[in-house]
Structure 1
């Protein structure tokens, strides 16, 4: 992915299987999350020390973890 956005292996595999349009939307959403990572809801389990957030677009969503100026995308979903 782009600078400041890292994808876990599963998220990379999902992204590779999406159409070009879906990939663009998912990458744009990741860039929005990277620009302001704490603007999206924290969905971590109670007691978890990992900060996990979810961002939603028109037809996709991502689950990510903020890391010192970057985000790690853990999951990508597509409803289009």
Structure 2
């Protein structure tokens, strides 16, 4: 897994260990089956961008061969 700088910053600012665990659990779910979640790329974009949602968080990521690149993490908790 590769985390973009913004995603790393969000992880560092999450309010509790529980929040970090929830985000990491969603990232692990995505890592196991990255194409199970919707492709949300803009029309004409060549980058495959997908999003997955948990109870209080979401991740935006790019699947790569054998890995994912986490571009953005959101927290609504």
Q: TM-score, length-normalised on structure 1?
A: 0.92
Cα separation, 1, equivalents of 2:24 and 2:67? 14
Q: Unpaired segments of 5 or more residues in structure 1?
A: none
Among 25, 30, 41, the residue aligned to 2:38: 41
Among 69, 72, 79, the residue aligned to 2:66: 69
Q: Tell me, what secondary structure is at the counterpart of 1:62?
A: strand
Q: TM-score, length-normalised on structure 2?
A: 0.96
Hey, which bits of structure 1, 4+ residues long, moved more than 4 A?
Answer: none
Counting matched residue pairs gives 76
Q: Which residue of 2 aligns with 1:11?
A: 7
Q: Unpaired segments of 5 or more residues in structure 2?
A: none
CA drift at 1:6: 1.3
Q: CA RMSD in A?
A: 0.6
